[in-house]
Structure 1
Amino acid sequence: MKLFSNIFTSLEQGLQYSTMKQNAISDNIANVDTPNYKAKSVSFQDTLQKATKELDGLRTDPRHFEIKAKTQNPFIQARSNYLYNNNGNSVDMDKEMTDLAKNQIYYNALVERLNGKFSSLQSVIKGGQ
């Protein structure tokens, strides 16, 4: 028996992604003056696009297209094709601060949604009071 619905799993995965992104942004900001440091990014969009191209679908007719499944998690990769400083550093401080703000908004939205779900459960447990 599953205690929580799939929404809790999805929210948890979203929070894990946001945490991974926060760590990458923090590393980039901390190393803004480190020579030859390559900025990190969490590539969820690329992973999502690859995964949606390779979904496993049910074929009810032989004329349907075959779709294969391949699940991937977000991963951190270095952005080495940009140089913003003469010392070989690829950290763009404006981009990092923008990403930091967007990630914070995303994280807060997930936490609010999770709190709402737990409040609903608490209300149900108390009998709607």
Structure 2
Amino acid sequence: MAISFDNYLGLHQQALEFRSQRAEVIAGNLANVDTPGYTAKDLDFSKALEQAREQLSLAKGNELHIQQVNSPVAPEVVERTETQPSADGNTVELSKEQAAWAENRAQWEASFTFLNQKFRGLEQAING
């Protein structure tokens, strides 16, 4: 009997990928903290996760059959507008970016730990 890792791992695999992509966006913001006119960016994580959840919803034609659509979901990069721009038009706030980095890192670690536990459970099932 074959196992579908997409079904077994669920959203957690994509959540880890989204968190990695968000880290890149936040790093870009930090790199441009002194760039005149630069607008801070972020990923619309909740929207991307909702799209991934919709794709993982299972459509059953028969109780014994499960059908799943597997197409990658790319999170949308959006500009942050809730901040007051500096005199040069830059909207990156160092403290907010550092806090976002730390929060994203903690959430990435949590997703990674969860996936590790899923694979350990599979290993235990295989080895007994």
TM-score when scaled to structure 1?
0.71
Looking at both structures, which has the greater relative contact order when contacts are Cα pairs under 8 Å and sequence separation is at least 6? 2
For the 8 Å contact 2:37–2:89, the answer to whether it is kept is yes
TM-align CA RMSD = 2.9
Q: Distance in 2 between matches of 1:126 and 1:115?
A: 16
For the 8 Å contact 1:43–1:76, the answer to whether it is kept is yes
Give aligned pairs, total.
111
Q: Distance in 2 between matches of 1:6 and 1:115?
A: 16
- What code does the residue aligned with 2:79 have? A
Q: Distance in 1 between matches of 2:116 and 2:47?
A: 29
| SS of the residue 1:107 aligns to | helix
Q: Does 1:18 align with 2:22?
A: no
1:60-71 equivalent positions in 2, closer than 5 A = none
Which consecutive unaligned segments of at least 5 residues does structure 1 have?
A: 57-71
Instruction: State the percentage of identical aligned residues.
Output: 32
| SS of the residue 2:13 aligns to | helix
Which consecutive unaligned segments of at least 5 residues does structure 2 have?
A: 58-72
Larger CA Rg, structure 1 vs 2: 1
- What code does the residue aligned with 1:111 have? F
Partner of 1:112: 113
